[in-house]
Structure 1
């Protein structure tokens, strides 16, 4: 077992980096208590492989022995993050060669302040300055906070790797991204995550708390009639995967999904998605309605508001919709929102296992 010094006696040349908002510096023994608080936070335990249980000795080993060893051996560069005159987390660049990996963690009382975006930019800028050519990021699929940081700092969101990581005995898919030395440290894609309201509804991004209502919606017989290829039975895990997929594709600038929520209770009543977002072709609109919200005019009120938002706020020039020939509700919704029918794809829809025609609708921005 490594001997842990009371204070690090290692090189005083660990660079101090600051942008006026945060400061990256060497770890100190005075950080240990807050490291323990961070490492025992439920979100840290959920999304990372931090040891659990985690005690003061673990924090001392990490901050006063493991981090110094990385600097001394040239295998890792790890910093403590200072913000508001206190330790608030860690950021480290790992790897001895031109390709490195980044890791970061934030104390719960510093979340939501943009601290990690500043810290990551400082760390990767230094890494590129000392010869790194590529910095790779990965996180368990569903770690929205980590995805937001990677997106904001200019990482290319490369792929979802199936079964990419094991956390406490559970195998999870992994989100992976990369940043090259000549990349700007700003978002590469437009991540639409807006919130706005109609008279009765709030349109907002998907939340994890929506999963059970998503499951009920997708598993409903009416939904299943027009949604082929869904697992049977459709579990809560499948609903979570649907949400995570929409988070990921939204971050990549490919889609945008709004939950249609009750204005008073914020209960999920359905969702509306713009798919295949493109500056030339526009986007395709799709939607679901929760079974207990059908017949209450949810989409009749919310869908035109999304159309107006897509044209007026997002700057889109064209929207399309497709509906199976037997799907009277979707066809009526398209027509009431001003879409015009532009063509039919013969036998291109599967409704309850029966092939039928698929009707195309489009709407151009005035």
Structure 2
């Protein structure tokens, strides 16, 4: 539904009601909203060329269902329809997003709209940004302006109690705007949107919402996997072409970790996406451990939480391909990841106070990795690890403090 591109930070809202429509010079009940940096105003026929540019852009085509090809006539019809909607009591409320570029020129930056949801007290938010306006924090400012306006004005005759956001899964720009403006993420709705590229299958969508009492800033951190250089390895973000480095396992990995966490070529795209989701939710950071010289993936290391966003305590995990074992890569990766997790946020770290880990008691290689980093065993659980022969093994609990 939305085709947003990154942007954040807005200030106070001011409104100037009833500007004049450039199309017919008749008053329209369109409030002009501004925070001093971004201005939301009625669309104008002067915006038509920029609307064509935005609607023909590859990112817009990828995430929205705009006409293809998109003509100037389409843009003119869009502007006229937007202005007409303001006259309808239950119509969609459209604004053009205007910003000032580095040369001090006012520019068309995109569009944002409020459409009525399941009731007049519920709205749905849609937005899209012109390519030239991306990367300047514009759309998050625009969203905050519209959200504050919706919750302070009876848009469709009654107070608005909730605004919904929805985007096709993979539209990270749109999701980051929703995150930056305080929306609560509710999950993924399977097969709920037509493919904008014309494919036969329906696509999944993300959904989130915001209410009047919610903050207009992020609820949880959006974590990232920074590149960290070691002596023989580097930690870096995963890439889809790392699939070529995945090797067949010479053991039963489900003895050491959940089956869904094991790196496999056939599930790798989904595995990477799930790790991106964890970082967006603030619940984990996942690195590819790569050889420093060749940059070939050797395995992975993660810092994560099992119970919501990472705050005070996090857990360390790792897995390596058979050819990468026994050369010290796991010990170095664990040391680098633990150091980043425990470093203060003021120094670029995650600010975790306590790091923990769990291993099978008979996993000597993993236990040696933890000891080398400074982890201390603090507990043993008996008969919790199901072994291949049907028997049960013990599990160990470890911790590391700064």
- The offset of 1:117, in angstroms, is 0.9
- The offset of 1:325, in angstroms, is 4.0
Unmatched 5+ residue regions in structure 2?
Answer: 1-20, 101-105, 154-158, 345-349
Report whether the alignment pairs 1:153 with 2:176: no
Q: How does 1:247-266 map to 2 (within 5 A)?
A: 247-261=276-290
Equivalent in the alignment of 1:331: 367
- The offset of 1:278, in angstroms, is 6.1
Report whether the alignment pairs 1:300 with 2:331: yes
CA distance 1:79–1:235, shift in 2 (3 Å) = farther
Equivalent in the alignment of 2:15: none
Partner of 1:239, secondary structure, is helix
Equivalent in the alignment of 2:39: 23
Equivalent in the alignment of 2:144: 121
- The offset of 1:64, in angstroms, is 2.3
Equivalent in the alignment of 2:14: none
Alignment counterpart, residue 128 of structure 2, candidates 105, 110, 121: 105
Report whether the alignment pairs 1:34 with 2:34: no
From the CA coordinates, give the structure whose radius of gyration is larger: 2
Equivalent in the alignment of 1:91: 112
Report whether the alignment pairs 1:270 with 2:302: no
Kept in 2, the 8 Å contact 1:10–1:72? The answer is no
Equivalent in the alignment of 2:103: none
* Whole-angstrom CA distance in 2 between matches of 1:223 and 1:64: 65
Q: TM-score, normalised by structure 1?
A: 0.84
Alignment counterpart, residue 142 of structure 1, candidates 170, 173, 178: 170
Report whether the alignment pairs 1:183 with 2:214: yes
CA distance 1:52–1:353, shift in 2 (3 Å) = farther
Alignment counterpart, residue 94 of structure 2, candidates 60, 63, 78: 78
* Whole-angstrom CA distance in 2 between matches of 1:292 and 1:109: 46
Partner of 1:37, secondary structure, is helix
Q: CA RMSD in A?
A: 3.1
Kept in 1, the 8 Å contact 2:376–2:400? The answer is no
Kept in 1, the 8 Å contact 2:180–2:217? The answer is yes
Kept in 1, the 8 Å contact 2:51–2:110? The answer is yes
Q: Residue deviations 1:55-109, cap 9 Å, x none?
A: 22222222222x2233222321111111221112111111161111111111222
Kept in 1, the 8 Å contact 2:253–2:262? The answer is no
* Whole-angstrom CA distance in 1 between matches of 2:258 and 2:87: 56
Q: Which has the higher contact order (CA 8 A, sep 6+)?
A: 2
CA distance 1:108–1:334, shift in 2 (3 Å) = same
CA distance 1:321–1:59, shift in 2 (3 Å) = same
Q: Residue deviations 1:294-319, cap 9 Å, x none?
A: 45543322221221221223222222
- The offset of 1:175, in angstroms, is 1.4
Relative to structure 2, which stretch is displaced further, 273-282 or 49-58?
273-282
Report whether the alignment pairs 1:365 with 2:401: yes
Report whether the alignment pairs 1:44 with 2:60: yes
* Whole-angstrom CA distance in 1 between matches of 2:51 and 2:296: 37
Alignment counterpart, residue 342 of structure 1, candidates 375, 378, 384: 378
Unmatched 5+ residue regions in structure 1?
Answer: none
Equivalent in the alignment of 1:203: 235
Number of residue pairs aligned between Structure 1 and Structure 2: 356
Higher helix share: 1
Q: Residue deviations 1:117-143, cap 9 Å, x none?
A: 111111111111113211111112221
* Whole-angstrom CA distance in 2 between matches of 1:153 and 1:229: 35
